[in-house]
Amino acid sequence: MDLKKCALGIELGSTRIKAVLIDENHLPVASGDHEWENQLVNGIWTYSEDMIHTGIQKCYAALKADVRAKFGVKLTSVGGIGISAMMHGYLPFDKDGNRLAEFRTWRNTITGEAAEKLTDLLGFNIPQRWSIAHFYQAILNQESHVKDVAFLTTLAGYIHWKLTGEKVMGVGEASGMFPIDSATCDYNETMVQKFNELTGLDLRSLLPNVVSAGADAGTLTEEGARFLDPEGDLEAGIPLAPCEGDAGTGMVATNSVRVRTGNVSAGTSDFAMIVTDHGLGVHREIDMVTTPDGAPVAMVHCNNCTSDINAWVNLFSEFAALMGASYSKGELFTKLFQAAAQGDPDCGGLMSFNYFSGEGVTDLDEGRPVFARTPDSSFTIANFMRTHLYSALATLKIGMDILQSQEQVKIDKLLGHGGFFKTPEVGQRMLSAAVNAPVSVMKTAGEGGPYGMALLVAYMLNKAEGETLPDYLDNKVFAGAECSTIMADSADVEGFAKFLSAYVKALPMEKTATEVIG
């Protein structure tokens, strides 16, 4: 194993930080991870600075241990490194590099006023979770730290800065901070000027510089090496690729960066990313972001996906232990997902809302997980689990309908990745039933975002002169990739449509729950 020919991708996801090392053939050869969870502190969804720092260090330490166990060598260097993280959110710093406010994650729905005003001003949908919405809301709230802000970034941008000293990020990640002009692969200058006129600020001086996939984004400093590997084995001087968001790395991991391709990432949150071939109108439910090489992407982002499923699986785990049985979480997930596949196509009269937090697509600022059923419903474990799987996709489907029905967005290929698809076929079939289209999953889908980030590193290191990212992925990475494709049968498609109709009618119940359950 020549580690100097390997590429390392690290992604700070919502519930797990994961590192994936790939070899010169783009195959995963080692990995490490660390589980974590966001905290609700004074009404703000956040991760503390200590959680961020120790989390990525523990993840890297696990990777080092895996490399030593598999290859009998100490991990001291690699060909390149790339950092990815959950997109959006708010991390402000002063001129001396001091953090001025808690990290406000994508999960917060506390910027409604700012998002609405900026959308009207720019003629471009600004979602609540975008960095610029958080910053402008802080201005509107007259928060004391605003006057001292000298730099705004995201979680991925922050870690990249810690490792390299460079205030720079990939265009896909930047597109979750402020609108991007795909023609220039930079912030939209007309919109920048409108924001400057509104606030009297120089926005460009506050934002990271934008670079496209394949560009040089700095090298690992001595300080950065000690930060990532406190044991002192990692060498400085390793090149870093532009940091990216989990949306961009998901597109790369599923080879969904060409026009009219798309992917659905389904984990703690779920989102669909469709590379468009024409401009779209302004829709509150649709974000316009970009691929890591700057192509326009329509994004349906939902804050809630598998958290409620995870909670129920934990409950079943407790019940199993109470009865003296011992099952791993992996075994329980597999059995329960397989049971869901046997449920009634319309879930037999059961209803679930999986909202742990607010949801922009359905215009809810808070969430309360709710399960309900009719007295004569078919209350079986199969229908119960199928209801929760459908609920995890329902809000996504509402947004997808806008793209496919109102905007006539065409999708030639749709791929799924993330924890929702780990149990073979079940998640695929449920998503296919929701979108009424074939859904594919690659063998590497379980590696997800960190694998996609590692591929972006490999592209930076190995691309030929003039070779585009789509061509590199098609010809050098995924030409022989193992892929399974499933199309739901008509009964499942009709069943999901019936469930969704009932779901939309029952939405006032979820709204009431947020008002009456403290």
Domain boundaries, the chain: 307-444+487-516
What pLDDT does 405 receive?
A: 85
Two structure tokens written together for 386: 């199928």
Element housing 33 (H / E): strand 28-35
- Asked if 445 and 415 count as a contact pair (C-beta separation under 8 A), the reply is yes
Say how many C-beta atoms besides its own lie within 10 A of residue 196's C-beta. 13
**Distance between CA atoms of residues 174 and 185, nearest Å:** 10
Instruction: Decide: helix, strand or coil at residue 341.
Output: coil
**Distance between CA atoms of residues 491 and 344, nearest Å:** 9
**Distance between CA atoms of residues 345 and 489, nearest Å:** 10
Residue 334: Cβ-neighbour burial (10 angstroms; 0-12, 13-18, 19+) = middle
26: left (phi over 0), alpha (psi -120 to 50) or beta: left
The predicted model gives 394-415 an average pLDDT of: 89
Instruction: Decide: helix, strand or coil at residue 133.
Output: helix
Give Rg (Cα) of the chain.
Answer: 22
Report the C-alpha dihedral over residues 269, 273, 279, 283, rounded to 10 degrees. -20
Q: How far separated are the first and last CA of the chain, in Å rounded? A: 55
Instruction: Give the type of residue at 120.
Output: D
- Domain 307-444+487-516, second-level architecture: 2-Layer Sandwich (3.30)
Only one residue has tokens 């215009």, namely: 363
What pLDDT does 360 receive?
A: 82
Quote the percentage of the chain above a pLDDT of 70.
99
Is the pLDDT at 176 greater than 80, yes or no? yes
Among 311, 308, 315, 312, residue whose Cα is nearest residue 391? 308
pLDDT digits (tens, 9 = 90+) for 202-257: 999 999 999 999 999 999 999 999 999 999 999 999 999 999 999 899 899 889 99
User: Where are the extended beta strands (E) located within 309-467?
Assistant: 350-353, 370-373, 413-417, 439-442
pTM listed for this prediction = 0.82
Only one residue has tokens 């929702």, namely: 420
* Alpha-helical runs (H) found in 40-111: 49-71
* Alpha-helical runs (H) found in 151-306: 155-164, 171-174, 189-199, 203-206, 222-228, 246-253
**Distance between CA atoms of residues 402 and 208, nearest Å:** 32
What pLDDT does 410 receive?
A: 84
- Asked if 54 and 142 count as a contact pair (C-beta separation under 8 A), the reply is no
Read off the pLDDT band of 336 (50, 70, 90): very high
What pLDDT does 383 receive?
A: 98
**Distance between CA atoms of residues 500 and 518, nearest Å:** 27
**Distance between CA atoms of residues 81 and 100, nearest Å:** 28
Element housing 448 (H / E): helix 448-462
Is the pLDDT at 443 greater than 80, yes or no? no
- Asked if 506 and 351 count as a contact pair (C-beta separation under 8 A), the reply is yes
Read off the pLDDT band of 275 (50, 70, 90): very high
The predicted model gives 120-127 an average pLDDT of: 95
Read off the pLDDT band of 446 (50, 70, 90): low
- Asked if 430 and 495 count as a contact pair (C-beta separation under 8 A), the reply is no
**Distance between CA atoms of residues 394 and 389, nearest Å:** 9
Could you give the C-alpha distances from 138 to 100, 134, 141, 356, 365, in angstroms and in order? 12, 6, 5, 24, 17
Is the pLDDT at 445 greater than 60, yes or no? no
What pLDDT does 482 receive?
A: 83
Read off the pLDDT band of 444 (50, 70, 90): low
